[in-house]
Amino acid sequence: MQNSTLQLQRRLKNRHIQLIALGGAIGTGLFLGSAHIIQSAGPSIILGYLIGGLIAFLMMRQLGEMIVHEPVTGSFSYFAFKYWGKFSGFLTGWNYWVLYILVAMTELTAIGKYINYWWPHIPSWLSVLIFFVTVTLANLANVKMYAESEFWLSLIKVLAIVAMIVFGVSLLITADASSTASVSNLWKHGGFFPNGVDGLFYMLAFMMFAFGGIELISMAAAETENPEKNIPRAVNQTVIRVFLFYICSLAVLLSLVPWNQLNLGDLDHSPFVMIFSQMGIAWAAHLLNFIILTASLSVCNSGMYANSRMLVGLAEQGNAPKLFTKVSKQGVPVTAVLCSALLIFGCVILNYWVPEKALSYLIYIVVAAAVLNWMMISLIHLKFRQAMKREGISTKFPAIFAPITNYFVLAFMLMMLYIMWTQGFMLSVLMLPVWILLLFVVFKSVNIKS
């Protein structure tokens, strides 16, 4: 059978790669997840996202060095397979696939709730079905259709955040003496660390998960025009994106209303919505609901794309059935897309039938899989660098201060596991070695011929 990497078409332009990267960096972690963090860390959340952004950038530079050197299908699973061994490729690939199956399921289910905000009489399952079919069709059409849909979904998020920052700054500039809006809100009400440094430290793990998905651009490497130019550009702009969309937006919004005056009792609502609502700007809730909806749709869209390409890569390694290497005339791995879509839809069905406690165990797997994913990228990069050194090869996009930064990222991830252990996520940490052992047993017991 012809190698599917040759069949996948390089049709992703620079603007597609840039917005796919933006889409990965801007998710519901910013719009929704920041509520719990503000309650615990106060304004120091700004510093926390700056630290998280630095770790994400270092990890992306490590991944970027590998994908620019070899822009292939399957991304870091391919590199794990090539430079570390077959089980490493199996572990990395299937872990990533399961991670995004569960993430896509969660985001797709959330869309039903966002639609109910406007039209509560519409059954959630109907909204989920409509958007599920839409995302699946976009991924089945061709890679350009996926790229265009993700381009516009991400563009909505980007423009909305920029507009909020500009609008927030204008409110700060025009605020009178009776207004609560002031930059001094960042340090007046209990200080920048109102709950001490510990208040920020124990929230770092939650902040890091907001950056999950930033590595999605690596999955598009095999279908990117001029990857040697476009991939480094997307990776290098990670810091700018994080600074603008996380740091600036939160700094402005926490200046508008003192953090301790925010009504954060319902952590299912966005602090962005709460801030503008408390300021008497009623339309903000509807605008933010639309933005959050597009954010969830964007993640689900990218999740299905990443999953299908990871299946192609796993099949090429011999770690998945060869039928997943089949590619249509339009350059789409149809079987891989349909397999991922079927399981994503099955998980949506489970949301209606599985008890709440059982679903929480799935979430534990997501948390553990995300930590494992990032740790594996740094470990694989160490193996990659050792191979390049042995062969005397100089790469075109070297990681920053490697291997020191590799050990720094790994140490930080271990610290995240410690935080999770102490903050009520002990089961997540315990499931990590269980999950690895399970994949090892499957790997050993199922003999998939190349």
Which residue would you say has higher pLDDT here, 246 or 399?
A: 399
pLDDT at 357 over 60: no
Which residue would you say has higher pLDDT here, 21 or 442?
A: 442
Q: Can you read off the two tokens belonging to residue 413?
A: 């991830």
Helix and strand totals (H; E) in the chain: 20, 0
Q: 85 to each of 99, 221, 230, 326, how far by Cα in Å?
A: 21, 22, 29, 24
Cα 161 to Cα 145: distance, rounded to the nearest angstrom: 25
pLDDT at 9 over 60: no
User: What structural domains and CATH numbers belong to the chain?
Assistant: 14-442 (1.20.1740.10)
Smallest CA-to-CA distance from 39 within 209, 219, 265, 220 is with 265
Write out pLDDT tens, residues 162-218. 888 888 888 888 887 667 788 889 998 889 999 999 989 988 887 877 777 677 766
Which residue would you say has higher pLDDT here, 23 or 424?
A: 424
Write out pLDDT tens, residues 35-89. 677 888 889 999 998 898 889 889 989 988 998 888 776 577 888 989 998 899 8
Helix (H, G, I), strand (E, B) or coil at 50: helix
Write out pLDDT tens, residues 119-145. 888 877 788 888 889 888 888 876 667
Which residue(s) pair with 12 in the sheet? 224
Strand boundaries in 204-285, DSSP class E = none
| Percentage with pLDDT > 90 across the chain | 16
Sequence-ordered list of residues with C-beta below 8 angstroms from that of 170, at least 6 positions apart, any chain:
none
Q: For position 412, what pLDDT does the model report?
A: 95
- Do residues 201 and 419 make contact, with C-beta atoms less than 8 angstroms apart? yes
pLDDT at 20 over 70: no
Smallest CA-to-CA distance from 242 within 200, 213, 285 is with 213
In our burial notation (b when 16+ CB lie closer than 10 A, e otherwise), range 112-144 reads: bbbbeeeeeeeebeebbeebbeebbebbbebbb
- Do residues 403 and 378 make contact, with C-beta atoms less than 8 angstroms apart? no
Which residue would you say has higher pLDDT here, 289 or 196?
A: 196
In our burial notation (b when 16+ CB lie closer than 10 A, e otherwise), range 211-235 reads: bbbbbbbbbbbbbbeebeebbbebb
- Do residues 339 and 140 make contact, with C-beta atoms less than 8 angstroms apart? no
Calculate ∠ Cα 215-218-224, nearest 5°: 140
